[in-house]
A = this chain, B = another copy of it.
Amino acid sequence: MLPNLPKGYRVAGIACGLKPSHKLDLSLIVSDHPASAAGVYTQNLVCAAPVTFDRSVTPAEDVRMVLINAGIANACTGERGLEDARAMANAVLDAVPPQKGFTRGQAIVMSTGVIGHFLPMDTLKAGINNIVKELGTSQECIHNAVTAILTTDTHEKVASATVEINGKKATIWGMAKGAGMIGPNMATMLITVISDLAINASMAQTALKEVADRTFNCISVDGHMSTNDTLVFLANGMSDVIIGNNEQFEVFKQGLYDVCETLAREIPNDGEGAFHLVTINVEGLKSRDDARKIAKQIAESPLVKTAIHGADPNWGRIVSAAGYAGVPFNPDNVNLWVNGFKLFENGAPAPFDAKEVSQSMADNREIEIILTFKEGSESIRFWTTDLSEEYIHINADYTT
């Protein structure tokens, strides 16, 4: 069973004809109240039109809906692409009947799929007029909404947390699509998190940025930053929970973190050709940014990733990847554990049973790397995958 929606939201998913496969490809989330909204977007200079559009919307206090299409990414589409994104937002605002006593509000739009193609606006507008009739809170509605955003993901990604403040409860609920690409597409993360708690947009933006930094910005499948990555958060205040003071803010942030961490881990876990989910803990650096640089270099080294795929406890590849991250450290203070086995101690190889460690790597889907330094007290947790022949098949053999 999928986790239920927070109060005051309805969702739907339909097939509107954007995917050649005729699978579900349009997803809509509507809040009955205007919601505070925050957004975090790709840092790629070559960004898609919906990203440019959403950046102009968030943060805001009056967002009513999030519309997401799969099949066409509306990326590298210039001025016309931006007009299409705007028209897509206006079309869905027009199609959803306004709640009594509320203004029209704003819509957020996201797209994923083939790049360099224009959205077929007539098909899309017809789909929008159909999807609003399907809105609801049932398991079927939720299932359709979370499925319609997927591309090569093998399963839906949903997470939920309950936040309790002064005995009152609110729900934080999120859905994501992960790293998947077919034909000329590229890996794209689209994440929508909604809640029925009340928080102003500026506080929500601060929390979302901070949480994204520790979750979605700590994952890597192939290191290729998408043109479309989008994370938005909506809070409509339909529960009795109000986030006002610092203490309440921390409780909220923890709930938001829990949902985002679960979704973030699911993305490499369901990465293309992934046989292992690899958690990389890097500890003892001067700054989190230093720790992130080292973790990212390890996470994106094809030599590390193929060694993990081959269940090879190859500490040399891990330690040497750290060595070219551009972060100064004393190699004599480096220690490394893989799945609890110490492989490297104070800058020198530790004695270990290679067969035993290899067996542990082969037997466990989850691999844990801990790499410690003595440069400071900052650390990071980062998630990635191994690199398999299957990844090559998916990305090389399906040509345009």
Contact = CB atoms under 8 A, between A and B. Distances in A.
A205 interface: no
For the complex formed by this chain, how many copies does it contain in all?
2
Interface string A114-148: 01100000000000000000000000000000000
Given A307-B396, A347-B78, A224 B301 contact: yes
Interface in A196-251: 222-227
Interface string A337-373: 0000000100111000010001000000000000000
Contact of A315 (B116, B312, B348, B399): B116
Interface stretch (A100-108, A155-163, A258-266, A317-325): A317-325
B225 A395 contact: no
A388 interface: yes
Interface in A256-306: 300-304, 306
Interface residues of A, number: 68
A184 interface: yes
B303 A395 contact: yes
Given A349-B76, A389-B393, A392-B387, A400 B358 contact: yes
Contact of A187 (B303, B309, B311): B303
A49 interface: no
A152 interface: no
12 contacts: A43-B324, A78-B347, A184-B312, A186-B317, A223-B301, A224-B321, A307-B395, A309-B392, A309-B396, A310-B396, A310-B398, A312-B399
Interface of A: 43-47, 75-78, 115-116, 181, 183-187, 222-227, 300-304, 306-307, 309-317, 319-324, 328-329, 331-332, 344, 347-349, 354, 358, 386-389, 391-393, 395-400
